[in-house]
């Protein structure tokens, strides 16, 4: 295969690369379209294959020629062709995002230097990380809608990641299958252990489960795929991203003045965790690389790195605490509302 590629004239090779990229983007968009179906139906316990895609407004089945990812939405200007009811902009966004992620994973094997991506050591890993990226998109979107992370992704993904690590030990920088498997096992244990510790501490300190058990299981999958170092960096990155998302949501709420000041803005941690895992997969090497380089340089550099890193970590921790308190408050308010409703529920039926 490699010899065949090397023997090819450069012009043809460029052409082949363009065809491959176009194919990958189309594949990503089509998979993204399927992910939209999964995001809508899995939390409701519906089948993802039947019935076929239909309009939520009029219930009409959408014909295949109006179900082309991204393009159909743009051509129809976000409205159903039959009844004109609006179609959420989320659908083309998920499709475009999946296409972009598929392309980036492909490029990290084909031409990582182009965008400073991590180098994917083997082409066989491309479908593995496509699957990972797709499952992450589904988990993040479902978490945003329903505040749940799917067990089937974490619990099916972890054994799969262990098997992949044994089959492709290069993923963990190992050369033999048992070293690859060991690195993956250690990573999974670290992910589960650290996640469990955070969940336990959150419960002890704030008397409320802040860091959900879904997060813990998802961290286990990250560990199996990226090793224990990956888990640590993903957690740090997620806390930092969560801080930015939290502040962004607060500012947005303040600007709109839609929500009163004391309305809880509880942001699920899932989106931050998913984004961090994808960033680690695509550009992760820059974090330890940057830190190591700074360590090797003069004290000035070290000072700059520590000067940035320590406030970032401190802010992230403060944000985590803030978020936990917010959720605790929201739960308390919910409970209070429920107890208020209870007498109505328990209203005895009038005796004849
Ligand atoms: Zn319709």
pLDDT tens per residue, range 79-91: 888 888 888 889 9
Rounded alpha-carbon distances, angstroms, from residue 338 to 229, 293, 333, 335, 346: 43, 55, 9, 5, 12
Global pTM?
0.81
Domain presence at residue 316: yes
- The set of residues, in sequence order, having a beta carbon less than 8 Å from that of 155 and lying 6+ positions away, is 217
Query: Last residue of a domain, which of 96, 117, 138?
Result: 117
Domain presence at residue 134: no
Same domain, residue pair 78 and 177: no
Same domain, residue pair 98 and 166: no
Same domain, residue pair 180 and 112: no
Cα–ligand 1 centroid distance for 84 (angstroms): 6
Cα–ligand 1 centroid distance for 78 (angstroms): 11
Domain presence at residue 137: no
Cα–ligand 1 centroid distance for 58 (angstroms): 4
Looking at residue 193, its pLDDT comes to 93
Looking at residue 296, its pLDDT comes to 59
Same domain, residue pair 290 and 157: yes
Query: Which is more confidently placed, 312 or 73?
Result: 73
Domain presence at residue 57: yes
Task: State the average pLDDT for the chain.
Answer: 82
Looking at residue 345, its pLDDT comes to 42
Most confident of 139-153, 290-304, 305-319: 139-153
pLDDT tops 90 at residue 192: yes
- The set of residues, in sequence order, having a beta carbon less than 8 Å from that of 296 and lying 6+ positions away, is none
Same domain, residue pair 110 and 175: no
Cα–ligand 1 centroid distance for 66 (angstroms): 12
Task: Out of 9-18, 45-54, 133-142, 305-314, pick the least confident.
Answer: 305-314
pLDDT tops 70 at residue 64: yes
Cα–ligand 1 centroid distance for 72 (angstroms): 14
pLDDT tops 50 at residue 346: no
Same domain, residue pair 189 and 79: no
Domain limits at 206?
Answer: 150-332
Total domains in the chain come to: 2
Domain presence at residue 259: yes
For residue 32, give both structure tokens.
Answer: 């993204």
pLDDT tops 70 at residue 158: yes
Same domain, residue pair 308 and 162: yes
Most confident of 39-48, 193-202, 245-254, 282-291: 39-48
């Amino acid at each position: 295969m490699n010899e065949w590629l090397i023997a090819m004239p450069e012009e043809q090779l460029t052409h082949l690369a363009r065809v491959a990229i176009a194919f990958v983007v189309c594949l990503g968009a089509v998979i993204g379209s399927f992910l939209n179906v999964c995001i809508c139906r899995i939390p409701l316990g519906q089948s993802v294959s039947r019935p076929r895609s239909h309009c939520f407004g009029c219930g009409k089945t959408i014909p295949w020629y109006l179900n082309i990812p991204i393009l159909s939405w743009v051509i129809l200007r976000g409205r159903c062709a039959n009844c004109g009811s609006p179609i959420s902009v989320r659908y083309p966004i998920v499709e475009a995002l999946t296409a972009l992620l598929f392309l980036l994973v492909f490029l990290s094997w084909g031409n990582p230097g182009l965008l400073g991506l991590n180098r994917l050591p083997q082409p066989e890993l491309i479908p593995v990380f496509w699957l990972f990226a797709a499952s992450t998109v589904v988990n993040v979107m479902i978490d945003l809608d329903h505040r749940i992370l799917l067990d089937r992704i974490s619990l099916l993904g972890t054994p799969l990641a262990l098997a992949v690590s044994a089959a492709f030990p290069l993923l963990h920088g190992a050369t033999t299958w048992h070293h690859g498997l060991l690195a993956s096992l250690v990573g999974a244990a670290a992910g589960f252990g650290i996640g469990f510790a955070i969940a336990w501490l959150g419960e002890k300190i704030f008397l409320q489960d802040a860091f959900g058990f879904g997060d813990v299981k998802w961290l286990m999958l990250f560990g199996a795929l990226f090793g224990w170092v990956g888990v640590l960096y993903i957690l740090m990155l997620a806390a930092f991203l969560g801080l930015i998302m939290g502040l962004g949501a607060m500012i947005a709420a303040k600007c709109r003045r839609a929500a009163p000041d004391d309305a809880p803005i509880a942001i699920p941690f899932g989106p931050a965790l998913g984004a961090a895992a994808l960033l680690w997969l695509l550009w992760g090497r820059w974090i330890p690389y940057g830190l190591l380089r700074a360590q090797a340089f003069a004290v000035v550099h070290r000072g700059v790195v520590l000067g940035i890193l320590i406030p970032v970590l401190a802010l992230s921790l403060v944000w985590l605490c803030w978020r936990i308190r917010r959720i605790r408050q929201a739960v308390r308010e919910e409970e209070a509302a429920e107890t208020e409703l209870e007498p109505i529920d328990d209203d005895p039926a009038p005796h004849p």
